[in-house]
Amino acid sequence: MADLFAFASFAAVVEEGSISAGARRRSITQPAMSRQIQRLEEELGVRLLVRGNGPVRPTPAGARFYDRVTDLLALAENVVGRTKQESGQTRAILHVIAPSATITSAIAPYLVARGAAAPVLDCDDADPFRVFDLAATRGADLGISTTTPRPGWRGRRLSAARVWAHVPREHDLARRAEVGVGELVQHPLVLLTPNSAARRALDHEVGRAGLAYDDPITVRQPTIARALVAAGRGIAVLTDDPAPGTVTVPIAGADGCLEAQLYAGWDADGPRAPLIEAVVDDLAGFLAERGRGRARQAARRSRLVRSAGSEPEGR
């Protein structure tokens, strides 16, 4: 039966795009790598790779096998790491699965604010719709996402994250207390992919109002979206903090400012459940207090905006 070494070799070939590059990454010879892949294909009874001119690429069966293999390898790495951690460390480390936007806009600021008193939250990023399934598959301690946790897990509503229009500091909208969706879609936009919470919230409001986008730039990472705003390429719609040289403006919908709900989920029967619950409670408190602080800043900004000659402020 194939082992984890063979699975890791197959994953290396897919990720590197060639047998030889995969062999170098795994520190084995090219013939040995070829034999491993051949044995895998014979054992599974399917062809995993398309070989020929150009990069090696997985067949449809190989692509499905790659997804399962990478989940299995991540779980094995987590098991080994957790065992070493629990046997040789006294500080608490929790393995968290979350979308990249949640890691940068919620988890990282929490760790900074809590300092050495907080457990280390070691994060892997994932699609919001796969967070809780991957957390279960990989044996992670905690999932945090904008979708609700899987059935059978304990869930906790963390916060409602404000969805912001990110604009350059010199932009006309930078002086505004808020911007309506109808006005927003008239500007060049930088949007995340439709699986992101900020994009889903805006899509819902745009559809509800019978509006449409005019050829927005679509990117996967909030960091890239913020960089494009700073470069003057458009207005980004995100839950993140602003980049230097930019400001954030609330987006007004039919029922108030747009928000994205954040949830935590974990296995309540797991051995670390009490620690996880304590961390989730503390994170919820931190996000709630930060939300109140941002609301106070928004109100102060609104007063400044109404004053003649006021300068735009970052959030």
Does the structure show a pLDDT above 60 at 53? Answer: yes
**What is the spatial distance between Cα 116 and Cα 41, in angstroms, rounded to a whole number?**
49
Specify the pLDDT at position 292: 78
In the chain, where does the domain assigned CATH 1.10.10.10 lie?
A: 4-74
Residues 285-301: pLDDT tens digits? 998 888 777 667 766 76
- pLDDT (average), residues 147-165: 90
Residues 222-256: pLDDT tens digits? 899 999 999 999 999 998 888 899 999 999 999 99
77-157+262-294 fold:
D-Maltodextrin-Binding Protein; domain 2 (3.40.190)
Does the structure show a pLDDT above 70 at 309? Answer: no
CATH of domain 4-74: 1.10.10.10
The CA-atom distances, in angstroms, between 245 and each of 192, 230, 231, 313 are 20, 6, 10, 10
Q: Which residue has the higher pLDDT, 182 or 55?
A: 182
Residues 85-133: pLDDT tens digits? 555 555 678 999 999 888 988 899 999 999 888 889 999 998 899 999 9
pTM of the model: 0.63
Does the structure show a pLDDT above 80 at 302? Answer: no
In the sheet with 154-162, reading across from the earlier edge strand, the strands are 120-125, 93-98, 142-145, 259-266, 154-162
Residues 121-130: pLDDT tens digits? 999 998 899 9
Across the chain, mean pLDDT equals 87
Name the percent of the chain lying above pLDDT 90: 48
Does the structure show a pLDDT above 70 at 315? Answer: no
162-260 fold:
D-Maltodextrin-Binding Protein; domain 2 (3.40.190)
CA 237 to chain CA centroid, nearest Å: 15
In the chain, where does the domain assigned CATH 3.40.190.10 lie?
A: 77-157+262-294, 162-260
Does the structure show a pLDDT above 90 at 279? Answer: yes
Most confident of 1-10, 91-100, 149-158: 149-158
Does the structure show a pLDDT above 70 at 40? Answer: yes
**What is the spatial distance between Cα 294 and Cα 107, in angstroms, rounded to a whole number?**
17
Specify the pLDDT at position 132: 93
